[in-house]
Amino acid sequence: MSRRTVFFVSDQTGVTAETLGHSLMTQFEGLEFRPVTLPFVSSVDKAQEALRRINRAAQDEGVRPIIFSTLVQDELRDIVMAADALFLDFFAAFVGPLERELNTRSSHRAGRAHGMADLAAYTARINATNFALANDDGTGADYTHADLILVGVSRSGKTPTCLYMALQYGVFAANYPLTDDELEAGTLPARLEGQRRKLYA
């Protein structure tokens, strides 16, 4: 099976690059991809470090990596674009045509793609994401502050569902994996007993 390294490069969290990039890569079956996210590439030094890392991957693997970029600043984009890789620029693909259609130059300001205009909503989503990661698979067990708790067997999609709700809606979601013993007992685990109104299976 052919294997390619895919870099998601962003001057912010990298969520946009990851989401769009993963959507595109699902169209290519029979290939194995190694995803690497390089977030907060917001200075010349960080862009040059990203360039070195991407070029090192190209040299070590003997095949060009693929870059999905949401870098907004031209200076940083030009640095990373020089990498020995296929550079796919999401902003360039759409901003140029929009500028021409609207007869207005875009601001080219980092952070606009991630809801920074509404700082409170953005912060809530980030806090909810951190909460979901800290309370994944029964770890953390901070159920008091959870808006909801997903309960189910392992590998049933609890973690990605919690992260989706956190990233998109700012929902504080925890999850708990049911074991064979707990299923056979037919009762709720003691840790969940006081949280019945928050449980979803």
pLDDT-based confidence at 98, cuts 50/70/90?
A: confident
DSSP state letter for 179 = P
Q: Average pLDDT, whole number, for the chain?
A: 87
Burial letters 12-41, b for 16+ CB under 10 A, else e: bbbbbbbebbeeeeeeeeeeebeebbbbeb
pLDDT (tens digit, 9 = 90+) per residue, 7-23? 999 998 888 888 888 88
- The pair phi, psi for residue 117, each rounded to 5°, is -65, -30
Q: Does 102 have pLDDT greater than 80?
A: yes
Average pLDDT over residues 176-186: 87
**Range with lowest mean pLDDT among 1-15, 75-89, 170-184:** 1-15
**Dist CA 143 CA 66 (whole Å):** 40
Retrieve residue 51's tokens. Answer: 């360039």
Assigned CATH for 2-114:
3.40.50
Give the residue from 6, 8, 12 showing the smallest Cα distance to 125.
12
Reported confidence tier of residue 50, pLDDT bands at 50, 70, 90: very high
> Rounded to whole angstroms, how far apart are CA atoms 162 and 2?
32
Length of the chain: 201
Give the per-residue SS3 of 49-102. HHHHHHHHHHHHHCCCCEEEECCCCHHHHHHHHCCCCEEEEHHHHHHHHHHHHH
Q: Which of 31, 28, 49, 29 is nearest to 40 (CA)?
A: 49
| Euclidean distance between CA atoms 127 and 34, whole angstroms | 27
The model's pLDDT over 118-176, given as tens digits with 9 standing for 90+, comes to 667 777 888 888 898 888 877 777 888 999 999 999 888 898 899 889 988 889 999 99
Residue 42: both structure tokens together: 């917001």
Provide the token pair at 182.
């707990």
Q: How confident is the model at residue 108 (pLDDT cuts 50, 70, 90)?
A: low
Helices (H) and strands (E) in the chain, counts: 8, 7
What residue segments make up the domains of the chain, in order of their start?
Answer: 2-114, 119-200
Residue 93 pLDDT: 82
